Amino acid sequence: MTPGAPSGPAGATVLPGFLDAHVHLALIDPAPLIAGGIARVLDLGGWTPGSLESASPESPSSRGSGEPQGSPSSPPPVEVDPRAGRTRPQVANSPRAGAGAGAAGPAGAGLPEAVSAAQFLAAPGGYPSGRSWAPAGSVRPVARATDAAGAVDAQHAAGASVIKVTLNSAAGPVLPRDVLAAIVARAHERGMPVFVHAEGAGQALRAFRAGADALAHTPFSELLDDALVAAMAGRMAWISTLDIHGYGEPDDDFDRAVGNLRRFHRAGGRVLYGTDLGNGPLPVGLNRREIDALLSAGLAGDDVIRALTAEHLGRFRNVLRAPDRPGPARQGPDRKGPDRAGPGRLVTLLSGERPADPDAFSAWLCTARAVEPAEAAAAVAAVESGESGESAGTAGTAGTAGTAPVESGRRNGHSGPEQSVGGAPPPGL
């Protein structure tokens, strides 16, 4: 009954490193992520002052942040779940748990690359202030527009590469328009994109009007009208996080989110795969339910691969991909070309080639492991050298994901991101 097995036991496919664009590193043991197929993460916040720096030996703490020191030993909270009732803070790891991942650091020590936000910026008393899982210091209240620059600068100084803002009118006061605009303006001056948790009627619209770059969750509070969805698709990214709405038992919020995402995608909007990992019963690795939900929202297989392999967020070229040298992403080189798969840059290795049966697609994706390029090359070489069998060593390359090629050790002249070896070229799903 499980159409999940790859269509061929032999074969291997190499893709750019998969990204989970919404995680909370501090609330999980990130060690299984690599084996679970996640090469990169966007760590969307909840750190207390000082904790991000201490968790990231390569972050520029020596610059001095001017921030209160807080308590580096207090566990950072998770931003959580859209609804309080779903909040399930897990046992936090020590701040060192994310040390290997670091803020905007390269992959190393078996951990994914990570690009991080620091505190949540919110209205005084706004979400998630006062939540039991949110220790004092994890939310930076911004009362006035004139406070915005200082708040953004403090995140920058703490090693953050992105800004996380909460606009949750269902849970408390939200930032007024002028304050929100000032935050976005300063963040952009700093080269930092703004990710917004928008919840409650009208909050997604407010985030959009303020110039936010991405929504941390597909809007789920309300069905947005087509005109707004189309406008958002023109200049915003949405992080999917569909599975948090029921964790396999879809609820009304799930249906609204899928309804919004379907039209956003159809309108050409940029969808990023993200799970809100650290919040609720989610696998530490690729989440097949999230992939299936994306497919249910009308994304084709190629679209899902794009959502997993995105490397740029609009003009922010170093946000979804950490630089390959220690240091904050904003100071890193603007990587381009094949060197993305160079030392320290994990790629995705999948078992077998992409299945012809669309029903087997998500199961095939979930065979993913994040590996060093050399390991991927060895796997490809092994297939080529002996196990090609009936396929006579054919190598199919489908340039479907629209991203940079990866170095797999096989040079066949193609520049597509996907290299399948040991079977027919993958069908377009």
- Residues near Zn ion (CB under 5 A) are 79, 276
CB of 6 to Zn ion, least distance (A): 32
Closer Cβ to Zn ion, 279 or 419, answer by number: 279
Q: Tell the smallest beta-carbon distance from residue 76 to Zn ion (Å).
A: 12
Residue closer to Zn ion by CB (options 25, 347) is 25
Residue 281: burial class (beta carbons within 10 Å; 0-12, 13-18, 19+) = exposed
Choice between 79 and 418, CB closer to Zn ion: 79
Smallest distance, Zn ion to C-beta of residue 111, A = 19
CA distance 40 to 18: 6
Q: Supply the minimum distance, in Å, between the C-beta of residue 181 and Zn ion.
A: 23
| Cβ at position 286, least distance to Zn ion in Å | 17
CB of 217 to Zn ion, least distance (A): 8
Q: Find, among 328, 336, 367, 363, the residue nearest to 350 by Cα.
A: 367
Q: Give the count of alpha carbons within 13 A of 335, CB side only.
A: 24
CB-wise, 241 or 403, nearer to Zn ion?
A: 241
Quote the CA–CA distance of 163 and 287 in Å, as a whole number: 25
Instruction: CB nearer to Zn ion: give 283 or 332.
Output: 283
- CA proximity to 137, closest of 153, 119, 152: 119
Least distance to Zn ion from the beta carbon of 361, Å? 26
Nearer to Zn ion, 280 or 328 (CB): 280
Please provide the size of the chain in residues: 429
Instruction: Kindly state the tokens that stand for 264.
Output: 């956003």
Q: Determine contact, residues 215/209, Cβ cutoff 8 Å.
A: no
**Closest residue to Zn ion, based on beta-carbon distance:** 79
For residues 77 and 315, what is the distance between their CA atoms, to the nearest angstrom?
A: 30
CB distance 29 to 117 below 8 Å: no
**Token pair 């994040």 in the structure block, residue:** 370
276 vs 407, which CB is nearer to Zn ion? 276
Q: Which is nearer to Zn ion, 37 or 77 (CB)?
A: 77
Q: How far is the CB of 420 from Zn ion (least distance, A)?
A: 34
Q: Which is nearer to Zn ion, 213 or 276 (CB)?
A: 276
Q: Cβ closer to Zn ion: 26 or 376?
A: 26
Q: How far is the CB of 131 from Zn ion (least distance, A)?
A: 12
Least Å distance, CB 43 to Zn ion, is 10
Measured from the CB of residue 164, what is the shortest distance to Zn ion in angstroms?
Answer: 9
- Nearest to Zn ion of 282, 371 (CB atom): 282
Query: Look-up: residue for tokens 């501090």?
Result: 26
Angle between helices 226-235 and 252-266 (to 10 degrees): 60
